[in-house]
Homo-oligomer: A and B are copies of this chain.
């Protein structure tokens, strides 16, 4: 090491160079804000994401949603059950074991409100970043989580 290296700085912040740490902190803060934004609709972030998928692909099954969102089959069960019990979605049997999922009118209305809440949330979290930075961020994040499956 050189004798003029700013040792105190490195010792003072052990996480300075650790992208994973800042990624985690940013994600926790973002999720907390999203949870708060969706709370008025009694929606958890995961439930909202499921709503988004069904709205975009009516008739999709819960296993397919799970694969799209990286939510395990077993964990999809209570999410779908909750949304169904609230009258947000309907199950339409496609064969003996699968059910196509579609939003009810109430579900479509809820979806619209969730979309608006998420848009506001995104603006709060990332609105201060310039578009070029946002693009780099999006591409990099995709590269990180898509690197495998």
Chain A residues engaging chain B, CB cutoff 8 angstroms: 11-15, 17-31, 34, 45, 49, 52-53, 55-57, 70, 118, 121-122, 125-126, 128-129, 133-134, 136-138, 140-145, 147
Contact A20 B126 (CB under 8 A): yes
Q: How many copies of this kind of chain does the complex include?
A: 2
Q: Helix, strand, loop or mixed for chain A's interface?
A: helix
Distance of A113 from chain B, by nearest CB (Å): 15
Q: How far is the CB of A7 from chain B (nearest CB, A)?
A: 11
Assess whether B144 is in contact with A19, with CB atoms less than 8 Å apart. no
Question: Chain B nearest CB: distance from A67 CB in Å?
Answer: 13
What are the 9 A-B residue pairs with the smallest beta carbon separation, nearest first?
A27-B27, A22-B141, A25-B145, A26-B144, A14-B52, A26-B141, A26-B145, A29-B145, A14-B56
